[in-house]
A and B are shown apart, each in its own frame.
Chain A
Amino acid sequence: MKRNKIIGMALALVLALGTLAGCGGTNGGSANSGGSTPAENNTAGADGNSQAPITLKWALWDWEATAYNQPLIDAYREANPHVTIEYVDLGSTDYMTMLSTQLSGGADLDILTIKDIPGYANLVKQNHLEPLKNFIQEQSIDASKYGGTVEQILVGDELYALPFRSDFWLIYYNKDLFDKAGVTYPTNDMTLEQYDELARKMTSGSGAEKVYGAHYHTWRSAVQLFGILDGKQTILDGKYEFLKPTYERILKQQEDGIVMDYATLKTSSTHYSGVFYNSSVAMMNMGSWFIATQIEKVKSGESQATNWGIVKYPHPEGVEPGTTLGTITSLAVNQKSKNKEQALDFLKFVTGEEGAAVIASTGTIPAIKTDEVINSISSIDGFPADDNSKEALITAKTYLEMPMHEKSADIEVILNEVHDGIMTKNTDIDKGLEDMGKRVQQILNN
């Protein structure tokens, strides 16, 4: 990390000499040094609870579209009025890449939102994140409150982030379409076969009137990961024959017109929310983040699927209902932050119970999922009234979409690529999975 600065300095020197040599001409004076004047007014933060004003910079994405950011800041500032929190919106596309670039350049960010596991693994490798194990012990934070998610992001026995959001996958369904077809609603205990059967039953019509029984978004996790729900398999070991039945089932559904064609979805940039709003699909597997969006869009009138519900994710035979896929969003602290203590304090607040309450009040699922939190979400105005929908929020076992692994960024790339190949039918299943295995093995052995 030191080296980095030296390189920067060297480059700067060359540049300064050059400027002296007579480039000139372009000094606009708008240059406002951000990071080059370190350690001057920030030392105050070091001695803990002193009330000198502190500004924390929080890296995140989609500031406008995310409901809980501002309330979290407001709630924190109520107890800590001397702290100002500035957000730095790095955009959601390629957020983790952007974050890594900013940190490599020495950006003065304090709090970092971690969007996905591969990106997290990379930041840990780059030594950008402050280790939290000691902090957790000191503050006696109870890791078991996080429903097993903390264990899944351990690196060795060290931890570099704490989850504050924990989304999991559900089935969303359109009650009106089921009523019209005279089919009973899906339940909280469906096997994959039953789900397939139900989807077939719910498919009807053609042309603009066509209703698809189910819908898989173009993400890898929406299809591929049915294969890991039995808990016997992992997507990290370089053997993928177990995914064959899953791909066979989904491709068969696609061939039979039960679900929309992957290639068409991809090329037409079709977003899963649109087809659900338009009542073109009866059921859809999607993450719990869609709950808040769907509620909001029903209110605004954009979603015509006004009568809807959720049930637990379908599971393989012999597995406990409520077994599902999950994805966590966590907070970390920049190792080079000049306000580490305050940043850690903010992290503790957001990832703790108070933060969870704030997050839940906006319809988002926090990482600490107490009964209270679940009640708070299911009592939001617009949440489906039936008992099944409320019960669907209780999960049994959650498998991360991408488990923590040193090479998870590289593995993710391969899994995505082969998924795309199989789903567009450019590769047949056997060859695709074989190729997937070979390439992952290569990465693992490297």
Chain B
Amino acid sequence: MVESSSKKMVKTGMLVLAYILLAAVVLCMLVPYIWMLSSSLKLNKDVFTFPMQWIPQQPRWENYVDIWTKIPLGTFIYNTAKLSVIVTVLQLLTSSFAAYAFSKLQFKGKNILFLGYIATIAIPWQAYMVPQFIMMRSLGLNNTHMAIILLQAFSAFGVFLMRQFYQGIPNELCEAARIDGLSEYGIWGKIMLPLSKPALSTLTIFTFVTTWNDFLGPMIYLTKTELKTIQIGLRMFISQYSAEYGLIMAASVISIIPVLIVFLLLQKYFVQGVASSGIKG
């Protein structure tokens, strides 16, 4: 404890270094957004001009008006939000449910099933999207939001993620609950769910973002304008003979906002999760 002054020096030095590094990285992260914001206020032809113009000489606020009138952006945002919320809720429920079995229960074929589950994540969608489309169509599901929901809501990814977090929760906790007479469903609902808030928040964010940003799925399944989503809307500014980058950037800025809200709302859960809420037992 005595010779800590030199140690402290090193520590402060490290800290300063860490901050400088962080600041640099933060800047790198932000540059594209500043550029995005600035281009969202430009005429299309001025977006890609050298040298770069960080502050537009004549900011075109009309871009933010045009995006709502040139395409039905409001409808698109509503559709996307609806899909994202439904998919996320289903994903959370079914994934955490299945993950509990994979992590805390014993049954025949568990390992094989799990291994196969993960491996299917590896198959690129492009490889089976046509058979899937044919199937969905024959069910009469094309041009319905149901199609997108069914495709996105039951992923192996969610199960995998939840299972990994459950692995970190001591089995003793479950055993104790069993001795107390709680059913497996009760353990899942009363012990696992509250303990896995960080994981659930993480999964919420990922599912939400993935659904929000999905392009190819809605592109194939939703050909009616009133059903389309925001990512399709963004590409509507790219037409055969022109690309309205000013508008794309403006719409991108708008489309980020809801996702950021979700992130900010959930952020606190993955910083004060399990550790503080009682894994100590």
Contact = CB atoms under 8 A, between A and B. Distances in A.
Question: When A and B assemble into the complex, do they touch directly, with CB atoms less than 8 Å apart?
Answer: yes
Given A30-B145, A101-B130, A277-B45, A92 B240 contact: yes
Interface of B: 43-51, 70-71, 86, 90, 129-131, 133-146, 149-150, 153, 219-220, 223-225, 232, 235-236, 238-243, 245
A88 B223 contact: yes
Contact of B241 (A30, A105, A270, A293): A293
A101 to B, nearest CB: 6
B49 A32 contact: no
Contacts of B225: 89
6 contacts: A5-B138, A31-B141, A36-B138, A89-B223, A106-B134, A274-B48
Interface residues of A, number: 50
A293 B244 CA distance: 13
Given A93-B235, A273-B242, A105 B144 contact: no
A271 interface: yes
A314 B108 CA distance: 75
Given A34-B140, A36-B139, A273-B45, A28 B238 contact: no
Contacts of B90: 26
Given A32-B140, A102-B220, 15 more contacts: A26-B153, A30-B145, A32-B144, A35-B142, A61-B240, A62-B239, A90-B223, A101-B129, A101-B133, A101-B220, A268-B48, A274-B44, A274-B46, A274-B48, A290-B241
Given A32-B144, A277-B45, A302-B45, A107 B245 contact: no
A17 interface: no
B241 A107 contact: no
Interface string A144-158: 000000000000000
A8 interface: yes
Nearest to A5: B138
A90 B240 CA distance: 12
A91 B140 contact: no
B126 to A, nearest CB: 11
A278 interface: yes
A289 B239 CA distance: 13
B155 to A, nearest CB: 14
Contacts of B70: 64
Contacts of A105: 130, 133-134, 136-137, 142
Nearest to B137: A105
Interface in A6-45: 7-9, 11-12, 15, 26, 28, 30-37
A104 B130 contact: yes
Interface in A274-297: 274, 277-278, 289-290, 293
Nearest to B238: A93
Contacts of A303: 45
Given A65-B242, A289-B241, A107 B43 contact: no
